[in-house]
Amino acid sequence: MLPAQARLRRRPEFTAVMRSGRRAGRPTLVLHYLPERPVARTGGPLDPAAGPRAGFVVGKSVGNSVCRHRVTRQLRHLVGAQLHRLPPTADLVVRARPEAAEAGSAVLSRDLDAGLDRLLGDRAAAPRVRRS
């Protein structure tokens, strides 16, 4: 489970990440990544000591309430294990696609890893195979 300070909660936070951040689409999910948090309304920067934050968007197109909550729990667990890869000022929004409903944890984990590799530029972690 993600600690409270590691979660995005308010709509403006989600909107800022989804509009200003980089995006990586995978078959079961879309990752939106913003490496630097926006400035707080008070004028000062947000506390970077809180670490990276993550939020989840699992809409009705994924399935009924039971299915959506199951997907959210799986994603929360998987992202919690990957937060160490993000810089302390980063925000990440994970949006589930309808295909996530039938996908297992292994598939979601694979897509999350591949999306983070693409967003963070971890080329060594995921070597590309050249097709000729």
What pLDDT shows up at residue 43? 47
3-state secondary structure string, 45-65? CCCHHHCCEEEEECCCCCCCH
What pLDDT shows up at residue 123? 47
Low-confidence residues of the chain, pLDDT below 70? 38-49, 122-132
What pLDDT shows up at residue 5? 84
CB 28 within 8 A of CB 99: yes
Please say whether the structural domain 4-33+53-120 has been given the CATH code 3.30.230.10.
Answer: yes
Burial code (b: 16+ CB inside 10 Å, e: under 16) for 4-18 equals eebebeeeebbebbb
What pLDDT shows up at residue 26? 93
Q: Which two tokens stand for residue 68?
A: 């959506």
What pLDDT shows up at residue 40? 58
What pLDDT shows up at residue 39? 62
